[in-house]
Chain A
């Protein structure tokens, strides 16, 4: 039992509280947030090292013994996600320095970002299902504020939809937890898993609860038919906020599906996991169609989120070692690369003043570095070897094939082509050719804005190239998912 694993929650929380007191001193706000997110990242790396050496780390908050109090549990999966979250938050904060605008910075932008990280890291770390709901709410509350900060018309309009959807899903979350508590009589996730396993054959009521959880997390994670709110809401805020949302929020929903469907509801896979697979495949198909239908750069990237969510949840639905390691691999890859794409889209839009890629050509003549970064990240997103999307996707497809699901594997592979096409036409149309509609725009500090993007791109490239090295950690994460007893033993001793 160590206090290390609570630090990724406490550091941003304390930073946020301190930052609130001097919201008008923008320079201090910037540097304190950057230092704090960097500190969180370093702590999470130490945590990964600790888990690598000593196995799953747990912390009984307030020293209440395990099934009675709230337990924080950090296995390799949550530690990896916490560290990626901190890295992305660090880069988005750096990006905000030159792009978000002093108005937003003076109205509590940085403290709210810190609160968002508290919620996300907390949801990844907690080992208590109701505590997960609380961290979801911390995250959502900050996301409401981030969505509406600045108060432009489109933001106000879209945030109403967003809040309404999330209030509904939170009510459903409370209901699902209530049902689960009445059946198993505990809230500790390891204990729930143990009690469900003791019941042997999963009773039908638990399948109902499993589907209810799928609806709750599907609403947050945007799987078919629950993603209708996402394209509109994510379109509204400025680039760094969009990157935080696109990279982190939906992935928390996916993580929760991954956790509950491997830890609780793995007894009736013929129903629950089959349902998840089918929904994921429909998500992939519809997301791909929408991604190639739009001519708007932001919309294209947003629909690519939905495709990626479908690919990851398909891996969860297939539920074998290959597909799960593929899902974990792809989850981390997608968090990094989606942040990169949203930040790049932000730079491109602020240079050209338009998100419609047909309105400009030849951008690469003025901004070669921007062009090549965009090119590499599109290749990585589509999964061209040796970049990072490839390993995850091939593992997911292998997992699907080994279950005998040929159609599913093919759809996942085909989706890569659609993803590649949807963004490559932006590159061909917008970056190649004679420079027109894209004169050099000196008001945008492209060089400085590219620094955080390059950090993330380098992370994504090395994640792909050194995937053998990364696999050492991913394998440990998947071991716990495949074998829930490891998790239970670590928590309940």
Chain B
């Protein structure tokens, strides 16, 4: 199961990198979303995908899942949600102000200043 998840995470990262290298701002934002998805899945997989039960059933339970990674993922999801929302608004505002969503036209060259 862990191997399968690792391949999936790799695929997510690969598509994230592909999207982030494209020129359209919107694709880049979707790329960052995929990147953080990959990171969250990786956190989940790192702790081991046990077929245990709910995180804590009392100290005598003989199998339970480690709750820490899930707490970490929850925090990371909230943060990446906030950042993505901000990025989308910024992209829209930049599009209004600069009239383009093509990264090539947003370069800090002499002409653009």
Using CB atoms and an 8 Å cutoff, list the residues of chain A in contact with chain B: 130, 133-134, 137, 140-141, 144-145, 148, 151, 153-154, 156-160, 163-164, 167-168, 170-172, 174-175, 177-179, 181-182, 187, 232, 235
Contacts and interface: CB of A to CB of B under 8 A. Distances in A.
Given A154-B108, A178-B72, 5 more contacts: A140-B83, A153-B97, A168-B32, A170-B80, A171-B38
A412 B82 CA distance: 41
Contact of A156 (B28, B98, B103): B98
B43 interface: yes
13 contacts: A130-B75, A134-B79, A137-B79, A151-B97, A159-B90, A164-B32, A167-B35, A167-B83, A168-B35, A174-B43, A178-B46, A179-B46, A181-B47
B87 to A, nearest CB: 6
Contacts of A168: 20, 32, 35
Contact of A167 (B36, B75, B106): B36
B94 interface: yes
A454 to B, nearest CB: 33
Contact of A160 (B25, B72, B82): B25
Interface in B39-86: 39-40, 42-43, 46-48, 68-69, 72, 75-76, 79-80, 82-83, 86
Contact of A130 (B32, B72, B86): B72
A166 to B, nearest CB: 8
Contact of B39 (A144, A145, A157, A174): A174
Interface of B: 20, 25, 28, 32, 35-36, 38-40, 42-43, 46-48, 68-69, 72, 75-76, 79-80, 82-83, 86-87, 90-91, 93-94, 97-98, 103, 106, 108, 112-113
A174 B39 CA distance: 6
A156 B94 contact: yes
A205 B112 CA distance: 45
A141 B83 CA distance: 7
Nearest to B83: A167
Q: Which 8 A-B pairs have the closest CB atoms?
A: A182-B46, A156-B94, A178-B43, A178-B46, A174-B39, A171-B39, A167-B32, A171-B35
A163 B113 CA distance: 20
A179 B69 CA distance: 11
Classify the secondary structure of A's interface with B: helix
Nearest to A158: B108
A322 B87 CA distance: 44
A163 B39 contact: no
Q: B47, B72, B98, B112: which has the most chain A beta carbons within 10 Å? A: B72
Classify the secondary structure of B's interface with A: helix
B18 to A, nearest CB: 14
A177 B112 contact: no
Nearest to A168: B35
A184 to B, nearest CB: 11
B68 A163 contact: no
A163 B83 contact: yes
A167 B83 CA distance: 8
A134 to B, nearest CB: 6
A182 B39 contact: no
Contacts of B97: 151, 153, 156
A349 B90 CA distance: 28
A174 B90 contact: no
Contacts of B46: 178-179, 181-182
B94 to A, nearest CB: 4
A181 B68 contact: yes
A430 B30 CA distance: 47
B90 A148 contact: yes
B45 to A, nearest CB: 8
B82 to A, nearest CB: 7
Contacts of A154: 108, 113
A168 B42 CA distance: 15
A144 B28 contact: no
Nearest to B105: A157
B49 to A, nearest CB: 12
B69 to A, nearest CB: 7
B112 A157 contact: yes
A341 B108 CA distance: 24
Nearest to A231: B108
Nearest to A156: B94
A66 to B, nearest CB: 15
A163 B31 CA distance: 13
A144 B86 contact: yes
Nearest to A134: B75
